[in-house]
Structure 1
Amino acid sequence: MLVPNCPVCHQTTALVARHLERNGIATVIMGCAKDIIEHAAVPRFLFSDFPLGNSAGKPHDIASQAQTLELALKLLETASGPQTTMQSPLRWSEDASWKLDYNNVAQLSPEELARRRAEFDKQKEIARGNRAA
């Protein structure tokens, strides 16, 4: 089973993977939060040094997504033992400066923070409505 991660569910996904493994279903976690996933001791982990939420490859980049899937399947076949981590060779950008700015609220204007908060609140309302339905 291949399980991509989102920022909200790294630990939950890791626990599900461990449960599936105990019941005979092989898993590979594809994620961007190395510290969280490795701490949860998943059997196989493909780490992409990308912003959270992009563990399956770059958005709108089919080639990077296909390569990420190929790497995950290769890891599933070749992992030498439990808690095996493979790092993707793909890079988000030529340098690591994106790590300083990615979702850094100190870099955002009050207007942008308010816009993002409003969008987040809107998505929560949609989710509540879907759950109620």
Structure 2
Amino acid sequence: MHVTNVVPQMQPFNGGIWLDLEDYALQNARRDDMKISVFTGPFLTDADPTMFGVRIPVEFWKVIAFIHDETGQLCATGYTMSQRDFLHAEEFVFGAHKTAQRSIRSIEQRTGLSLGPLPR
């Protein structure tokens, strides 16, 4: 069995606001000479639409964990983003960023995952 670690994302989402978030994390890590761990995935729901015979997740989450450079404490920040505005051809307009920072606990609750000792 071969299982990949990919999930369908619409190009305007993947190459737009999602990429902006990834670049933001990497730029800050490089600027501060930090090592970060990034966990990413979809929120899978029965309401996700099917396109071309494939279920397409509407919302995604990202958790970025790092050691604070001044306090030495384990820190984490969580984000969720939606590609809802990009799922229909007539809606392929790059709108304002619709990102919202979320607590690690809320991401754990929605995914059913435990992200270990990360601050909530």
TM norm. shorter chain > 0.5: no
Give the number of the structure whose alpha-carbon radius of gyration is greater. Answer: 1
More strand by share: 2
More helix by share: 1
Structure 1 length-normalised TM = 0.25
Structure 2 length-normalised TM = 0.27
